[in-house]
C-alpha cells in the first residue's frame, strides 16, 4: 500500500466538525460521542480517536482564529472580560474579546493580564472593560462599563477616574479617535447612553 495512502485521514473534516460541535456546543463527552457515532452513522470510533479530533480542529482553525483576532485589533472598539472556570483539576480563566460582531475566547491559567499587551499589540481603538485593574496598563483609550460604574460612585477609585476623565477631555481632541459635539465617536460608536456617569477615558 502506498505511503501517501497510509497517511490519509480515515475520517473526513465534516465528521470531525460534527464531533467538535457536539462536544463544545452540547457538552457531550467523547465517551458518549463514541456510542452516538455508532448509533447515528454506524461508525466505530474510539473516544481516544475522537479526542484526537480536538487537536486536529485546534490546529486547522488557527488561521481562522488569527484572522478574527487581527480584525479585532484593527477595529475601533473591543469589549473585554474574564471569568473563572473550574477544571477537573484546579481552575483557570477564560477571557473574551469582542467587537459585537467578532469574538475571540482565550484560556489562561490565571487572572494575570500581562498577556493582553501581546494579544492587543497595535490596537488603537477604545477598550471597554469593568474596573479590574489588570486592564489599566494597556496603552489605549479605555472606558469602564456603566453597569460597574454605579458600584464605584462613592469609591476613591471612581473619584480618581472622574478626575482623570476631565484631564483627558482636552487630550481627546488630539486623539486618533475623533468625537463630535454629541460625545459620540465619529466612527459610529455611540457613547450617549453613558452621559451623566462621568465615565473615564484613560490613555
Quote the pLDDT of residue 3: 53
The residue written with cell numbers 486592564 in the block is: 135
Per-residue pLDDT tens digits for 162-176: 444 444 444 444 443
Q: Which residue has the higher pLDDT, 76 or 4?
A: 76
Instruction: Give the C-alpha separation, 100 to 125, whole Å.
Output: 14
Count other Cβ atoms within 10 Å, centred on residue 30.
19
- Is there a contact between 126 and 137 (Cβ–Cβ < 8 Å)? no
Quote the pLDDT of residue 100: 84
DSSP at 171: H
Confidence check: pLDDT of 142 > 90: yes
Which of 135, 91, 142 is CA-nearest to residue 116? Answer: 135
- Grid coordinates standing for 115? 498577556
Backbone angles phi, psi at 57, to 5 degrees: -65, -40
Count other Cβ atoms within 10 Å, centred on residue 150.
10
Q: What is the mean pLDDT of residues 122-133?
A: 93
- Grid coordinates standing for 48? 481516544
- Grid coordinates standing for 203? 490613555
- Grid coordinates standing for 65? 482564529
Long-range contacts of 189-192, Cβ-Cβ distance < 8 Å, separation of 24 or more: 189/76, 189/77, 189/126, 191/143
Q: What is the mean pLDDT of residues 74-84?
A: 94
Quote the pLDDT of residue 168: 46
In DSSP terms, 142 is beta-bridged to 127, 202
Confidence check: pLDDT of 64 > 50: yes
Q: What is the mean pLDDT of residues 103-113?
A: 94
- Would the pTM of this model clear 0.75, i.e. be above it? no
Quote the pLDDT of residue 2: 57
CA 12 to chain centroid, in Å, comes to: 29
Can you spell out the DSSP letters for 143-171?
A: EE-HHHHGGGTTSHHHHHHHHHHHHHHHH
Amino acid at each position: 500500500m502506498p505511503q501517501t495512502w497510509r497517511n490519509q485521514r480515515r475520517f473526513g473534516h465534516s465528521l470531525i466538525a460534527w464531533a467538535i460541535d457536539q462536544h463544545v456546543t452540547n457538552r457531550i463527552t467523547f465517551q458518549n460521542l463514541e456510542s452516538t457515532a455508532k448509533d447515528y452513522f454506524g461508525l466505530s470510533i474510539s473516544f481516544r480517536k475522537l479526542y484526537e479530533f480536538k487537536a486536529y480542529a485546534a490546529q486547522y482553525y488557527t488561521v481562522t482564529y488569527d484572522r478574527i483576532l487581527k480584525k479585532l485589533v484593527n477595529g475601533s472598539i473591543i469589549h473585554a472580560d474574564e471569568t473563572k472556570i473550574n477544571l477537573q483539576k484546579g481552575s483557570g480563566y477564560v477571557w473574551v474579546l469582542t467587537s459585537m460582531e467578532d469574538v475571540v475566547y482565550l484560556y489562561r491559567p490565571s487572572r494575570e493580564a500581562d498577556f493582553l499587551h501581546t494579544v492587543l499589540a497595535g490596537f488603537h481603538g477604545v477598550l471597554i472593560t469593568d474596573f479590574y485593574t489588570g486592564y489599566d496598563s494597556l496603552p489605549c483609550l479605555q472606558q469602564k462599563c456603566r453597569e460597574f460604574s454605579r458600584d464605584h460612585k462613592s469609591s476613591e477609585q471612581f473619584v480618581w477616574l472622574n478626575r482623570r476623565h476631565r484631564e483627558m477631555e482636552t487630550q481627546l481632541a488630539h486623539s486618533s479617535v475623533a468625537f463630535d459635539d454629541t460625545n459620540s465617536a465619529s466612527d459610529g460608536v455611540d457613547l450617549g447612553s453613558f452621559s451623566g456617569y462621568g465615565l473615564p477615558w484613560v490613555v
